[in-house]
Amino acid sequence: MGITRPSAELNKCDLGGHDMTQLIPVQENTGGNSNGPVGEHAARSLSYCEQLEEGNILFFARSPIAIPESDREFLLSQRQSGAAYHKNIAYRPQEDRVSGLVKRSAGDQERLRTILRNYSKQVTQFIGGLLPSYACAAHVDFASFRPQEERGRPARLNARNDLLHVDAFPTRPTYGDRTLRFFTNINPTEPRVWLTSETFEGLAQRFAGPHATPGLFPTPAKGASPLNSVGKSLRRWARAVGLPVRPASPFDDFMRRFHNFLKQNSEFQATCPKTRWEFPPNSSWIVLTDAVSHAVLSGQFALEQTFLIPRSVLVLPEKAPINILERLCGRPLTDNGTVINRS
Ligand code: SIN
Ligand code: FE
């Protein structure tokens, strides 16, 4: 039970003196519903939150999520033909809807929806047991199925996931909430291979101090939001089809620019310290991807569920990107305290 030392099967290298992401193996497959004193579970759960907020990855060598063999076989038979640029198949739990599918029969679409709905529900329940303080306030965001081989996948530079980055979604501003993601490698034989580098705090201090990189913190014109062009067109489109659009906060604008800046920075990509992780078949891992710089080098067939965690429930709020950035630039970057109704 609980946190143990990293296992030898995972290849870790080049730590240097930097604040690098560590892997924390967890032997707890019940999400906290197991026997044992309640206080012990609460303490363990708190330590898991701390590990995540420090920028570490919780790793489950055997996934706690049960996927029936027939569902797994169905997922492994799926190909996104002609969709080299269409990254993933997304499932929206709030609408019970799948998007991003290419050329599927109605029967296959329905089957995929059922499998992703089950995955989303199971992960949400598991997180509810493992990290109850997060779960009671979390927004259950999209889940995804990733059927493409990651090695050599063609993509626009800013959409490439084989380059180190921290996550920022152009269409889903978080207003300072944290991005927690639960991954499962369903490939029966091949690992999913990631790189991680320094965590957000070090990267922000290096690149985003007030004078470090001109343009990362542009002064917004009064009432205007300095969105990038993709963000702008998506928002124009959303307005045009009548969707309610809340302006992205300066925090979200920064995170988007920082995501692109890191991917475009070839010197950073080549010279930063790196740790390589191999997530074996049938393993799961949990990570706050807004602060853990990461890249996926290879692997095919993964499932993933994203949660947004409000800052009010964080154990180490000073480690949250929003607070790090507000300290760095000395002004609020969201309309702090506003309650967001996402559903
Ligand atoms: C990413 O968020 O960069 C993708 C990670 C993955 O698909 O393994
Ligand atoms: Fe990412």
168 CB under 6 A from ligand 1? no
305 CB under 6 A from ligand 1? no
Residue whose CB lies within 8 A of the most ligand 1 atoms, among 57, 287, 304, for a mutation test: 304
pLDDT at 252: 94
Closest atom, ligand 1, to C-alpha of 167: 2
The answer to whether the CB of 315 falls within 8 A of the CB of 50 is yes
pLDDT at 239: 67
119 pLDDT higher than 70: yes
Highest-pLDDT range among 1-15, 74-88, 229-243: 74-88
**Sign of torsion, CA 328 329 330 333?**
negative
d(CA 326, CA 7): 37
Ligand (nearest to CA of 181):
1
Residue whose CB lies within 8 A of the most ligand 1 atoms, among 87, 153, 161, for a mutation test: 161
45 CB under 6 A from ligand 1? no
The answer to whether the CB of 91 falls within 8 A of the CB of 113 is yes
* Closest residue to atom 7 of ligand 1, CA basis: 296
- Write out pLDDT tens, residues 208-241: 876 677 778 755 544 444 455 555 666 667 667 7
d(CA 319, CA 4): 23
192 CB under 6 A from ligand 1? yes
Closest atom, ligand 1, to C-alpha of 295: 3
CA dihedral 130→135→139→145, nearest 10 degrees, is 20
Q: What letter represents residue 311's amino acid?
A: R
pLDDT at 213: 79
pLDDT at 197: 97
Residue whose CB lies within 8 A of the most ligand 1 atoms, among 141, 150, 197, for a mutation test: 150
d(CA 46, CA 315): 8
296 CB under 6 A from ligand 1? yes
162 CB under 6 A from ligand 1? no
High-pLDDT (> 70) share of the chain, % = 80
- Write out pLDDT tens, residues 152-168: 998 999 999 999 999 99
DSSP 8-state symbol, 234: H
Q: Crossing angle for the helix pair 200-207 and 250-264, nearest 10 degrees? A: 90
Closest atom, ligand 1, to C-alpha of 88: 7
pLDDT at 4: 43
d(CA 12, CA 240): 48
**Residue 331 CB partners (closer than 8 Å, separation 6+):** none
Residue 144 pairs with which residues in a beta bridge? Answer: 90, 304
- Confidence (pTM): 0.88
DSSP 8-state symbol, 266: H
Closest atom, ligand 1, to C-alpha of 146: 7
| Residue 39, both tokens | 């206080």
d(CA 124, CA 200): 26
Average pLDDT value over all residues in the chain? 86
